[in-house]
Amino acid sequence: MHTLGEIATYIDAKLIGDASIEINSLASSANAQKNQLTYISKRKYRTDLLTSKASAVILDQDLVNDCPTNALVVDNVHLAFAKISHYFKQQSTHLNGIHTSAVINSNNIANNCTIAENVVIGQNCRIASGTVIEANVVIGNNANIQANVTILQGTTIGNNAVISAGSVIGSEGFGNALDDQGHWYSIAHLGNVVIGDDVNIGANTVIDRGTLEDTQIQNGVHLDNLVHIAHNVILGEHAAIAAGVTVGGSAVLGKYCQIGGGTVIASHMHLDDGTIVTGSSTVDKHLSKGHYTGFTSISPHSDWKRSQLWLLKLDKIISHLNIKLKHLKGS
């Protein structure tokens, strides 16, 4: 718990309002409640600002007059948010063995695991050697967690989970603010990862925690190896994602989506329920239900080279042909 005055000092903001009110956490502008702090970085979110229930808002001079509550005025809102996020981040402190506060209802746990404060593990779980489970993780029944897995603080996992060797669940998202010298300032991600029942996760796959809300892996999702799931992503029930797929931040996949191996899904894309994407595609558009593809089909190297040259000068060639045609018509 910090007063707004302390926070203003920490991020070097001009405080307009009550310095003594207490802030206990950060939240998005849409979800923030009493005693929470939010931020508005762009004029287009002005409506969110007007209706926000947050006790205070970080914003710039441009939006001060629209602020219905306490304001922290700064030049670079995103950077101020990045700084204050670290103020609210709590690090798992336990480093060795099984913490006395952990509640473990299974016998099949390797000695060589680290299980931290307040972890709860259900019945009939198997946790192999080298696995590290940080504070406040909750795991349901019948989990099969293989070797050298890392599950970071606050992750929730339902029943019947399979988590393959080397995977990392709950890593920091890749959200960074730029300061005025072009230096990156990482955002401490305060959301968690929430995983439903009957989820399978492949080897060396990584799932990042959310920025303020949670990254969601819903019931029945199957992920293959070396998959990247970025912060704030929502994977709908029974989605299947093959190996080597990169899912960008805040992407939302509906239920029953099938994504082929090596595909890249850009940040913020939405895929409707039942969308199928061929492997190795680049999803650079929102997709409604259907089957989509986007890559260059392989061909002999010399053919490929020629076709790429044609591709880039296509507009010139076509316009040239059209001019020729006009001339002929006119002749």
* Rounded Cα distance, 61 and 40, in Å: 11
286 is catalytic: no
Catalytic-labelled residue, pool 222, 231, 270, 301: 231
| Structure token digits, residue 144 | 């099969």
- 182, 121, 209: which is closest to 157 by C-alpha? 121
What is the closest distance, in whole angstroms, from the C-beta atom of residue 4 to a second copy in the complex? 28
Q: Which helix (H) or strand (E) holds 303?
A: helix 301-312
Orientation angle between helical segments 77-87 and 4-11, nearest 10 degrees: 120
Q: Does residue 291 contact residue 278 with C-beta atoms inside 8 Å?
A: yes
Distance, in Å, from the CA atom of 119 to the CA atom of 98, rounded to the nearest integer, reads: 9
Taking the least distance from each CB to a second copy, the nearer of 47 and 129 is 129
Least distance between a second copy and beta carbon 138 (Å)? 18
Residue closer to a second copy, measured from CB, 157 or 230 = 230
| Closest of 222, 204, 206 to residue 171, by C-alpha | 206
Q: Which is nearer to a second copy, 43 or 291 (CB)?
A: 291
Confirm if 156 and 134 have CB atoms less than 8 A apart. Answer: no
Nearer to a second copy, 68 or 97 (CB): 97
Residue found by looking up tokens 């909750």 in the block: 138
Half-sphere exposure of 65 (CA within 13 A, CB side): 1
Q: What is the identity of the amino acid at 270?
A: H
Cβ closest to a second copy, residue 1 vs residue 298: 298
How far apart are CB 8 and a second copy at their closest, in Å? Answer: 25
Is the CB of 65 or the CB of 315 nearer to a second copy? 315
Q: How far is the CB of 89 from a second copy (least distance, A)?
A: 11
Shortest distance, position 257 Cβ to a second copy, whole Å: 11
Radius of gyration, CA atoms only, the chain: 25
Q: What are phi and psi of 298, to 5 degrees?
A: -75, 150
Asked if residue 103 lies in contact with residue 122, where contact means CB atoms within 8 angstroms, the answer is no
Nearest approach, Cβ of residue 153 and a second copy (Å): 11
Q: Annotated catalytic sites, by residue? A: 231
